[in-house]
């Protein structure tokens, strides 16, 4: 009897992962059947630059046989940001950037400090390490909890993650607040995730290398419209990034993404046009929500968090039936009854506002006394 035949009859034993992995929270994004107006994931709701499309179409079959080389495009991205190539790492989306930071710096006895509600993946990746996650709850108005964060800092604090603007709230931390935290925790990496920078236009990027514990993340999934290609960026002092490079796969950013990013960076006029469209649409949509009496929180991003109240699930369903996808965020800390709506172009948001108005009218009697 062969070895293969013998193993067929072996008793099955369930192999378990590490205890930390088994206890990790699971993240299941509600993707699938998204052939509607996509106001659910804060993506570019229109299209990437025509230059990107042309660059992808010009990729040859022969070039796909080679491993990707990220260094030339990292140098281009660094030049665009006014940094040196050694201060920039391209990653497979910001998710990989968060993952490699946690792998490089979080160990047993360390703590990641996280203001909540915020982006889910900070908790996911920190939970896979032997570090402890400490959450700091924002106030009812979702303003940045500076004093509470400062009070939570201790010698074990290794990373503080700040999404700026924050998702799902759209709130921001000021430059002075972030600098105060960096000064109060010199032993701590201050990660400022600027995924929505283009819609806010306030950045910490100019302080890379000047503030020794500051790292800034950016994504090309939002304003640039490259979400499907998964490309992000970490910028920081060379002394810190050298450790993240050790745990980063050298080929995690594929050659198609690199070609697309090159074209996108070289077409800033398209980026500026799209961002301008979103800002105009944001102002018009928020004014429309005011007229309808819908409660929402101030936002500096390409989305707005609205308080629908007990009818939040019904609202999401009704919007989908009208061909519009929005994201229920009721499971986030202190976000019960809240729904996040991505801001697209003015034309798209006029359609969305009409759908919101239609929902309010259809269930007005049911919503008496609710948030709407």
On whether the CB atoms of residues 68 and 251 are closer than 8 A, the answer is yes
44-59 residue pLDDT tens: 999 999 999 999 999 9
310-347 residue pLDDT tens: 999 999 999 999 999 999 999 999 999 999 999 999 99
No. of helices (H) and no. of strands (E), the chain: 13, 13
On whether the CB atoms of residues 283 and 346 are closer than 8 A, the answer is no
CA atoms within 13 A on the CB side of 315: 30
Q: Quick check: 35 pLDDT over 90?
A: no
Q: pTM for the whole thing?
A: 0.92
């Amino acid at each position: 009897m062969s070895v293969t035949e013998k193993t067929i009859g072996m008793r099955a034993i369930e192999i378990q992962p590490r205890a930390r992995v088994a206890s990790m929270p699971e993240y299941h994004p509600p993707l699938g059947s998204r052939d509607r107006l996509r106001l659910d994931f804060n993506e570019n709701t229109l299209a990437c630059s025509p230059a990107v499309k042309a660059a992808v179409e010009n990729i040859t079959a022969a070039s796909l046989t080679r491993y990707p080389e990220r260094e030339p495009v990292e140098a281009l991205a660094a030049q665009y940001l006014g940094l040196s190539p050694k201060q920039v790492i391209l990653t497979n989306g910001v998710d990989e950037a968060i993952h490699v930071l946690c792998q490089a710096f979080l160990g047993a006895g360390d703590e990641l400090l996280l203001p909540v509600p915020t982006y889910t993946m900070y908790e996911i990746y920190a939970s896979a390490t032997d570090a402890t996650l400490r959450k700091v709850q924002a106030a009812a108005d979702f303003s940045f909890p500076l004093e509470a964060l400062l009070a939570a800092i201790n010698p074990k604090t290794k990373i503080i993650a700040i999404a700026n603007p924050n998702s799902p709230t759209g709130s921001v931390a000021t430059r002075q607040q972030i600098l105060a935290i960096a000064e109060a925790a010199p032993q701590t990496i201050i990660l400022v995730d600027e995924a929505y920078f283009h819609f806010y236009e306030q950045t910490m990027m100019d302080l890379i290398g000047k503030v020794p514990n500051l790292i800034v993340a950016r994504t090309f999934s939002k304003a640039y419209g490259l979400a499907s290609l998964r490309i992000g960026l970490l910028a920081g002092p060379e002394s810190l990034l050298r450790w993240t490079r050790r745990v980063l796969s050298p080929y995690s950013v594929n050659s198609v993404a690199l070609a697309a990013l090159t074209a996108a960076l070289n077409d800033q006029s398209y980026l500026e046009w799209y961002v301008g469209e979103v800002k105009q649409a944001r102002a018009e949509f928020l004014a429309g929500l005011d007229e309808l009496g819908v409660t929402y929180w101030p936002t500096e991003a390409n989305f707005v968090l609205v308080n629908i109240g007990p009818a939040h699930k019904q609202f999401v369903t009704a919007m989908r039936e009208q061909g519009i996808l929005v994201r229920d965020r009721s499971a986030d800390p202190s976000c019960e009854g809240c729904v996040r709506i991505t801001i697209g172009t003015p034309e798209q948001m006029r359609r969305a506002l009409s759908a919101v108005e239609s929902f309010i009218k259809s269930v007005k009697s049911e919503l008496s006394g609710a948030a709407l």
